Amino acid sequence: MGMGHSFHRPEDLKGLVAYDPEGDRIGGVEQVYVDDSVGRPEWVTLKTGLFGTQESLAPLAGARREGNALHIAHAKSTVEDAPRHEVHQHLTADEERELYRHYGVDGGYATRAPGSLTATLPGAPPERPRTGAEAAGTGRARLRKVGRV
């Protein structure tokens, strides 16, 4: 799969279609979740299901962009079997841990404040990142939804 790409802004993911390591089409990027502490995209929701009626969260760790294609590090079946969560501004800490476990991805809990990942809309001004005791005291997860791309 090669080296992963660091996506710096939600807009970098607009209009992309995700593919798994075997080249199987998974679906279009719908929403972006960013790390509250740095504002960098960490996860996306992808249109999945027979008619693209469902959204599945997938990590950007190990992903790379080639033109309008987003090549992620996980099989299509893994994405489709991911835990489903309500689409809201923040994932809870438990929801986030469940997703990290499902994908076998290190959540970085040792280096980041709990409750620092959020979702956002590309082009929308980012929320002010929470830091230190402010982030740790909320009990919220670190992923914040930015919104639809």
Give me the domain span that covers residue 16: 10-148
Residue 136 burial (C-beta neighbours within 10 Å; 0-12, 13-18, 19+): middle
pLDDT category of residue 93 using cuts at 50, 70 and 90: confident
Residue 4 domain-assigned (yes or no): no
Q: What is the rounded average pLDDT of the residues 29-55?
A: 85
Residue 3 domain-assigned (yes or no): no
Tell me the per-residue pLDDT of 106-148, one tens digit each, with 9 for 90 and over: 765 433 444 555 554 444 444 444 333 333 344 445 677 776 6
Residue 64 domain-assigned (yes or no): yes
Residue 91 domain-assigned (yes or no): yes
Q: Reply yes or no on whether the pLDDT at 10 is more than 50.
A: yes
Q: How many domains does the chain have?
A: 1
Distance CA 91, CA 14 (A): 21
Residue 109 domain-assigned (yes or no): yes
Residue 89 domain-assigned (yes or no): yes
Q: Name which of 44, 24, 50, 27 is nearest 117 in CA terms.
A: 44
Query: Where residue 110 sits, what CATH number does that domain have?
Result: 2.30.30.240
Name the token pair of 117: 């990942």
- Model pTM above 0.75: no
Distance CA 12, CA 6 (A): 10
